[in-house]
Amino acid sequence: MKGKIALEEHFGIPSFGEYASDLAAGLDQTIMRERLLDVTGRRLREMDEHGIELAVLSLTAQGAQAEPDAKRAVERAREANDFLAQEIVAKHPERFAGFASVALQDPIAAGDELKRAVTQLGFKGAMVNGYSNVVDRDTGEYYDLPKFFPFWERVETVGVPVYLHPRDPLPSQQLIYEGHPALLGPAWAWGVETATHALRLILGGVFDRFPGVNVILGHMGEMLPFAISRVEQRVAAFPETSKLRRPVSRYLQDNFYITTSGNFRTQALLNTMLEVGCDRILFAVDYPYEEMGTASGWFDSCPISEADRRKIGRTNAARLLKLDVPD
């Protein structure tokens, strides 16, 4: 399929290396670094080769979320957004769009930066890399807490989605992975961490309070589409769910979008289509950590209808992100 729009595509800035450690575990870190920094060379050639018209770029994890100092985190997020807008998107507006970096160590400032990025820089939403560190790298806060409500209110007002990208659990909470480092990162820990964070947003009432908020989950929903029925059944016995206005599965269907990033398996796609519907699924690669050829080769040939392929590959993203592109 030509004309695909890809939503989880990362770039790097040399001065942000302190926030991007251990992302390429098991991969050639030199190659990953080169691909993160080379946005307009090899990346554009591969996009052309594999039918990707537009890539929505986001600063590679962990980004501003890994900076414990709130004031510095706010400054670094703004710096990253200005770089993306001026040095990449402005020079290739027909090929790249942007997701803003926001520093949720200061929820008010994060909302202000989101509004600036959307209204002044033309960005299409935000990406946050899991919990935000506070005080030090072994403390963190999740975004269902009431202190983050002003941010979610701003998200709803501005009318753009937030992509919830994974990160490893806090170091003090990694005992179960001890002796098995292969299970940290994208193999397993990221999905568990991010799915749990998404459920916290649901159970914490974020979407009841701000029903217009849309959150994007990568990697075919971080396992949630496959587990949501059992989650819904079991959490119903707890008092906190009695306050929810909808069944847990309805929030997944109404307030989340799911991308194919890094999970190129037809069985997983079909299950996700059955759980949330093809109108809430979006194509993504997760470049440079995944290959465009692998993602596109699978997606372009997987056994779904051409109408659904068009929706997932292009028109759903165009609608959600309000992109000025032809159908």
Alpha-carbon span 268 to 252, nearest angstrom:
16
Q: What is the pLDDT of residues 278-322, one digit of tens each?
A: 999 999 999 999 999 999 999 999 999 999 999 999 999 999 999
Both structure tokens of 89: 């998107």
Return the CATH number of 4-321, one of 3.40.50.2300, 3.90.870.10, 1.10.540.10, 3.20.20.140.
3.20.20.140
3-state secondary structure at position 160: coil
CA–CA–CA angle 11, 14, 17 (5° rounding): 90
Checking if the pLDDT of 16 tops 90, the result is no
Which residue in the list 106, 144, 168, 286 is annotated as catalytic? 286
* Cβ(218)–Cβ(177) below 8 Å: no
Estimate to the nearest angstrom the gap between the alpha carbon of 30 and the chain centroid: 24
Q: Which of 303, 296, 309, 201 is nearest to 251 (CA)?
A: 201
| pLDDT tier, 11 (very low <50, low <70, confident <90, very high otherwise) | very high
28 is known as an active-site residue:
no
Block residue for tokens 């587990």:
227
Which one-letter amino acid corresponds to residue 232? Answer: E
Q: What average pLDDT score do residues 34-41 get?
A: 89
Alpha-carbon span 264 to 234, nearest angstrom:
30
Q: What is the pLDDT of residues 71-109, one digit of tens each?
A: 999 999 999 999 999 999 999 999 999 999 999 999 999
pTM for this prediction:
0.97
| pLDDT tier, 156 (very low <50, low <70, confident <90, very high otherwise) | very high
Q: What average pLDDT score do residues 105-121 get?
A: 98
Considering the chain, what is the average pLDDT of its residues?
Answer: 95
Q: How many residues comprise the chain?
A: 327
112-118 LR contacts (CB < 8 Å, sep 24+):
112/154, 113/74, 113/77, 113/78, 113/81, 114/151, 114/154, 114/155, 114/158, 114/160, 115/154, 115/158, 116/78, 116/81, 117/81, 117/85, 118/158, 118/160
Helix pair 107-119, 149-158: axis angle to 10 deg: 10
Q: What is the pLDDT of residues 181-239, one digit of tens each?
A: 999 999 999 999 999 999 999 999 999 999 999 999 999 999 999 999 999 999 999 98
Confidence (pLDDT) at 22: 58
Domain ranges of the chain: 4-321
| pLDDT tier, 325 (very low <50, low <70, confident <90, very high otherwise) | confident
- How many other C-beta atoms lie within 10 A of the C-beta of residue 301? 11
* Residue 313 CB contacts under 8 Å (≥ 6 apart), including other chains: 1, 3, 4, 5, 283, 299
